[in-house]
A and B are shown apart, each in its own frame.
Chain A
Amino acid sequence: MYRYDAFDQRFIDERVAQYREQTERYLAGELTDDQFLQLRLRNGLYIQRLAPMLRIAVPYGTLSSEQLRALADITRRYDKGYGHLTTRQNVQINWPALEVVPDILADLAKVRMHAIQTSGSCIRNVTTDQFAGVAADEHVDARPYCEIVRQWSTQHPEFDWLPRKFKISFNGADADRAAIHVHDIGIRAHREGDGILFDFLVGGGLGRTPAIGSVIRTGLPEEHLLTYLEAIMRVYNRYGRRDNKYKARIKILVRAMTPETFRAQVDAEWEQLRDGPSTLTRAEIDRVVACFEPPPYAPRDDQPALLAEQRLAAPRFNAWMRHNVAAHKVPGHAVATLSTKLTGVPPGDVSDVQMDAVADWADAFGFGELRIGHEQNFVLPDVPQEHLFELWQRADALGLGAANLGLLTDIVCCPGGDFCSLANAKSIPVAEAIQREFDDYDYLHDLGPIDLNISGCMNACGHHHVGHIGILGVDKKGAEFYQIALGGNAGDDASLAKILGPSFSRDEVTGVIGKILEVYLDQRIDEEPFLHCVRRVGIAPFKERVYAKAG
């Protein structure tokens, strides 16, 4: 993990004091609601339907066990004893009082955490693969570059008041687990000889106008990372639309200019900046990379015989191994994902007890480090294979052992109308109804990988556009309805889901999902996954069945 030095610590301590002073001025009536809104957003504080919501940054989803325990403690002391893992690898708490937020931030700063730029029209938390550093298919561990960008983007003098929010994501593996095609900037890191190169995709995004990013630069040597980002941000800050918040994201600018013109403008700007003082030095890259050196793995052998025996003896463990455990690049180890998608619990919600337990397991079965993935689950990156069974038993006892990773019930879901003032409709009850209806493991397993994503409004926090099945809450004359779309995907071959047709009432949604799954089972050839089937046959057969007149 990145290790704070005195510089980093002083910065976040001073930032807490700065925010405390801003809060005091607001409470004293010196700032209007609108003025304070912009200041609190830059520190992650929303005022929600029921109470404030504080979004705490988890840079690129990496946490230490100490930090997770501190979060558990904060939910106990300032909140209702639970937190929520977000689709951008952060943690939210839903009930903090505005007056005590500076105290919460001060507590966070003690464990080198903050809420800086987790909301507002600025550069947000930089995200990456939740398996970074341990994935068997990885070429470049992107975390050091995420950290370099985090530092560069923190209270940037020029780019903290952008037309709209701005999200950057890195991927350094074969599979894209970081959704780089649907970020404002998606960066693909790869290796050539001794050097690391970056490809830049710009203008992807979800929200009201979903778009896949355009490649504007390939093979940029690593030392130019910050100057090239500066060039992109300057073009966006100057020319991105500010007259209409729905047309203010960079994707609209790139589309309006055309990617070719946008690229030419960025290149012209970059020519002025390249090789300037913000060019990364070898010493700085090495300093940050050194923080992410692999931990001291004890020599271990793979344990196929032991695991086979345990899997045979415990079918539920077998299912968990199949879906929730990924290959590790070091022999004898595995990457385990602890699902928060237990039926009856809002996706991503975790209690203080669960957080403390996950922290303990990160210590006992690893090196005290863990991750949060954008699918709203915990990841333990370094589990010795001989401890997998014990970990699963303990996780299962605390409701974190569901074997549904990547399956229909591993639903990605925003907080929706139960909590969020932007939402048109509730999303959590829809997720729960689907999880209750489709609870048979054999059936889920037979269906295979299906990403079902739910957003309560077109801001798309639940990433519905890139769900194999996407559900969007809409408002129809004051009533909650749900639009269903098929065929989206967030991975390498990213695509946007196509809307089936008219929306449904909440009661109808589960039945419609059932019909969609029937069509899939009728249409699929051999082991063809759901997404491939939808791509092959198109949405017509689904539409026909779903909208067929009764009788």
Chain B
Amino acid sequence: MPKLVKDLRVVADPWTLVGAEGDHDSERMPERAILPFEDWLEKRAWPAGATRTGVWVEGDAEAEVVGPHAAELPLIAVHFPAFADGRGLSLGTLLRTRYDFAGELRAYGDILPDLAQYLHRSGFDAFVVPDARSAEVAIASVRSITDHYQASVRQPIPAFRRR
């Protein structure tokens, strides 16, 4: 059973991920839907039932395309096709630092718990992991290193300015 870790705690997921267009039933839309970015962009608001909408994008999505909408979105979910594919880390960093995205930044897909420390530092505040044990390991992984050398979304001041 997948678990959502939000702000380093396991929480119930109020959101429902909706697949690509044609993949869903617009009559029975969940209240909080995470829509494909292109669908959201074309329709702006979703059919009746959805009160709030977030979007999902692939890790190789252009921050320059998604970023300008950051202020309108409560949630952006980034799909990691493989845990070793670090493109989503650059996307997360850019959404947070260049487009000042302040909503929930969620990673999902092939999320190895050991990736959590990188996700956390690249601005992700939520990630979906396969099970409870993975959630426990993921949270521990974020806390396993007290402080890092370089600047990150979490700590914009590099260690050398704080030493």
Contact = CB atoms under 8 A, between A and B. Distances in A.
Interface of A: 5, 7, 10-11, 14-15, 17-18, 21-22, 25, 30, 35, 38-39, 121, 151-162, 226, 234, 237-238, 242, 272, 277-278, 280-281, 284, 287
B93 interface: yes
B81 to A, nearest CB: 9
Interface residues of B, number: 39
Contact of B90 (A22, A151, A234): A234
Interface of B: 60, 83-87, 89-91, 93, 98, 112, 114-115, 117-118, 121-122, 133, 137, 140-141, 144-153, 156-161, 163
B145 A278 contact: no
A278 B84 contact: no
Contacts of B133: 30
Contacts of A154: 148-150
Contacts of B122: 157-158
B85 A278 contact: no
Contact of A161 (B98, B118, B121, B148): B118
Contact of A278 (B114, B158, B163): B158
Contacts of B160: 151, 280-281, 284, 287
A242 B87 CA distance: 10
Given A5-B163, A11-B147, A284-B160, A159 B141 contact: no
Given A272-B98, A281-B160, A284-B160, A157 B85 contact: no
Given A25-B137, A157-B122, A277-B157, A237 B149 contact: no
Contacts of A161: 83-86, 89, 115, 118
Contacts of A155: 117, 145, 148-149
Contact of B158 (A10, A272, A277): A277
Contacts of B140: 21
Given A157-B118, A157-B121, A162-B86, A277 B141 contact: no
Contact of B145 (A11, A22, A30, A237): A11
Given A5-B163, A237-B90, A152 B84 contact: no
**Which 7 pairs from chain A and chain B are nearest by CB?**
A161-B86, A157-B121, A284-B160, A151-B149, A157-B152, A18-B144, A158-B89
B141 A18 contact: yes
A18 B156 CA distance: 24
A160 B112 contact: no
Contacts of B150: 151-154, 156-157, 226, 278
A277 B151 CA distance: 8
Given A237-B89, A277-B157, A281-B160, A157 B145 contact: no
A221 B155 CA distance: 25
A26 to B, nearest CB: 11
B24 to A, nearest CB: 29
A158 B90 contact: yes
B139 to A, nearest CB: 13
A35 B112 contact: yes
A7 B147 contact: yes
Given A35-B83, A158-B86, A238-B90, A11 B149 contact: yes
Contacts of A15: 145
Contacts of B60: 238
B148 A157 contact: yes
A153 B140 CA distance: 22
Contacts of B84: 38, 121, 161
Given A151-B159, A158-B90, A238-B91, 20 more contacts: A7-B147, A10-B147, A11-B146, A11-B149, A17-B144, A30-B133, A153-B150, A154-B149, A154-B150, A155-B148, A160-B86, A161-B83, A237-B87, A238-B60, A272-B98, A277-B156, A277-B158, A281-B160, A281-B161, A284-B161
Nearest to B88: A161
Given A35-B112, A39-B114, A152 B149 contact: yes
Contacts of A156: 150
Q: B145, B146, B156, B160 — which one has the most chain A CB atoms within 10 A of its CB?
A: B160
